[in-house]
Amino acid sequence: MKIDLRKLAKGQDCQLRIPGVCNHNPETTVLAHLRMAGAGGAGSKPRNLIGIHCCSACHDILDGRTDAYGKLWRHDERPLDILHGLIRTLDVVSRSIDL
């Protein structure tokens, strides 16, 4: 059985939850792909399993689309926040598909 993880993300709570950034609005949640550790590359997205359920505000910060990236999310906090968000997302996914 194939699960569309991008569709599953819609309507979910944000799992990245960047303090002072997250809008906590499930209506804006999408699957935000993580381009790190060699996953994905120039012009290609990583597989859908390598992603976090993110609200629009956290997604903009994660993808570097806003100048607030360095101001609101300290560099030393990012890796652990991303790991926590990925674990929380995998937990939601595993419960949704009854793993």
Active site residues: 33
| Contact call for residues 54 and 24 (beta carbons, < 8 A) | no
DSSP 8-state symbol, 50: S
State both tokens at 4.
């569309």
CA triplet 37, 10, 72: central angle to 5 degrees? 55
Q: Which residue has the tokens 């991008």?
A: 6
Length of the chain: 99
